[in-house]
Amino acid sequence: MRYDGLVKTAVGLLVCAACVEPALDTETQGITTDVRHERFGLIRDSAAQMGMHNAALLAGIAISETNLAHCQAEATFACKGPPSPSCGGGPIIAGAADGPCDQMLGGLGMFQFDAGTYAQTLAAYGDSILTIEGNTAQAVNFVEVRVLMDIAGATDWMTAMAWLDSIPMDAADPLMKQWAAFIVCRYNGCCTTSSTCTTRANGYRDNAITAYGEMGADFWRTADRCTKLPDDGVIDQRSDCYLAAGDPRYWRVEASGYANNLEWTGTTSSMAPANFARWILKGSGTVHLDVHLDGGQFGQSKQAKYEIHHAGIVDVVAVDQSAANGWFALGDFELTGAGDEYVMLGDNTGEPSTGDTKLLFDAIRAQALDQDGGGCCDATRDARGSILLALLVVLRVRSRSRPRSRSRVPG
């Protein structure tokens, strides 16, 4: 059962002296094996898109909360929530423990997100919470925020994901025991060592292990889902070689840009990014990188900082996103094929959120410049990127050395 006080704030821990009963019964009427396995796949893929590769943990939560039911037709004892695209337009499942169904209270969907009434929950999370993918994305974000609060060594999104990914599907392992105690407290509000809390913690643990065993290790493994650059070199959003981190409420999707699909979020002047993306680069040799821009319709940042992590160094290319339309050159970069190599863009451009500046996230294209690089394709450069370059500053950051800067002349 999701708790209002936990959902709406990033800080604060709800501790209950006598934990309430789960919002939903443990039995459902309409989950076939095929539907169950399909739900596991959606949970796995939604989590992988956000950098979490141990999604059986989330499956354990969904089983504990609703036995994977997302639609009210699958659990007719539950309340009828708002219409859901994942339910063919039928009502989403809604928790029944917060009052009579006509009061429209209770958590929504597999992960039972609850900010009060149904209308308040939709206002807090947006309509995407009604889909299985959106419900799962919020579950990833919810867990990540609490990991940062509770787990030593977790200091940002990626280190939180690394801790989650390190938890083995072994009931006797100390990390799994830590996960069970953590999630029953943070997700169910049951934070004591009472028999009730212990039973619920074991449920989250055992349901995760069951889901993992049911589908097998190969099904759940996504850490290596990006194995090579696409044949055309284009890495688009939400593809296997793309990672979108941060609160999903702040990612907006538009029918525009490359392949008629782009995303944007607002800029901030914070030191660290709240929402960021990585385009993962595979292969070795020299590649030419372009980013797809839209002439300022959604790409409004004057100082979008693209970090190219490659060959043990980081090149930072600052771009005026509004100054180009189409493919825009970031430059040529050497890949080693060893370690993590990727392009990263964060919302912390230095432009304050009060300015309502949109930061564009669209496709990046990687083109091999040599035959020995293991890249995707022959280079066919688009000169417009260099001509329209309004601002291009490259900072090369080397480990244990003072950052150096150099200017690159468009041409």
Beta-carbon contacts of residue 80 (< 8 Å; ≥ 6 apart): 72, 91, 94, 101
Look up the CATH number of the domain holding residue 392: 2.60.120
- The DSSP result for 137-158, as a single string, is HHHHHHHHHHHHHHSTT--SHH
- If one compares 99 and 372, the residue with the highest pLDDT of the two is 99
Residue 292 pLDDT level (bands cut at 50, 70, 90): very high
Q: Is the pLDDT of residue 361 over 70?
A: yes
Mark which of 189, 220, 251 sits at the end of a domain: 220
Q: Is the pLDDT of residue 398 over 50?
A: no
In DSSP terms, which residues pair with 291 in a beta bridge?
A: 328, 364
Judgement on whether residues 14 and 78 belong to the same structural domain of the protein: yes
Judgement on whether residues 211 and 260 belong to the same structural domain of the protein: no
Residue 376 pLDDT level (bands cut at 50, 70, 90): low
Judgement on whether residues 264 and 368 belong to the same structural domain of the protein: yes
Q: Is the pLDDT of residue 229 over 70?
A: yes
Residue 96: predicted pLDDT: 83
Residue 118: predicted pLDDT: 97
Beta-carbon contacts of residue 285 (< 8 Å; ≥ 6 apart): 334, 335, 368, 369, 370, 372, 373, 374, 375
Judgement on whether residues 389 and 256 belong to the same structural domain of the protein: yes
User: What domain range is 329 assigned to?
Assistant: 234-407
Q: Strand 262-266's sheet: what is its strand order?
A: 252-254, 262-266, 358-361
Query: CA-to-CA distance for 387 and 321, rounded, in angstroms?
Result: 14
Q: Is the pLDDT of residue 12 over 60?
A: no
Judgement on whether residues 209 and 238 belong to the same structural domain of the protein: no
Residue 370: predicted pLDDT: 74
Q: What are phi and psi of 280, to 5 degrees?
A: -85, 130
Count of structural domains within the chain: 2
Judgement on whether residues 216 and 243 belong to the same structural domain of the protein: no
Judgement on whether residues 376 and 403 belong to the same structural domain of the protein: yes
pLDDT tens digits, 126-145: 999 999 999 999 999 999 99
Judgement on whether residues 359 and 395 belong to the same structural domain of the protein: yes
Judgement on whether residues 382 and 299 belong to the same structural domain of the protein: yes
Mark which of 167, 187, 220 sits at the end of a domain: 220
Q: How many helices (H) and strands (E) does the chain have?
A: 10, 16
Percent of the chain surpassing pLDDT 70: 83
Q: Is the pLDDT of residue 392 over 70?
A: no
Judgement on whether residues 58 and 207 belong to the same structural domain of the protein: yes
Residue 217's nearest CA partner among 180, 168, 276 is: 168
Judgement on whether residues 197 and 243 belong to the same structural domain of the protein: no
Judgement on whether residues 251 and 359 belong to the same structural domain of the protein: yes
- Among 67-81, 243-257, 364-378, the range scoring the smallest mean pLDDT is 364-378
Beta-carbon contacts of residue 334 (< 8 Å; ≥ 6 apart): 285, 286, 310, 311
Q: Is the pLDDT of residue 387 over 60?
A: no
Q: What is the distance of C-alpha 122 from the center of its chain?
A: 19
Residue 85: predicted pLDDT: 98
- If one compares 93 and 339, the residue with the highest pLDDT of the two is 93
Mark which of 188, 220, 252 sits at the end of a domain: 220
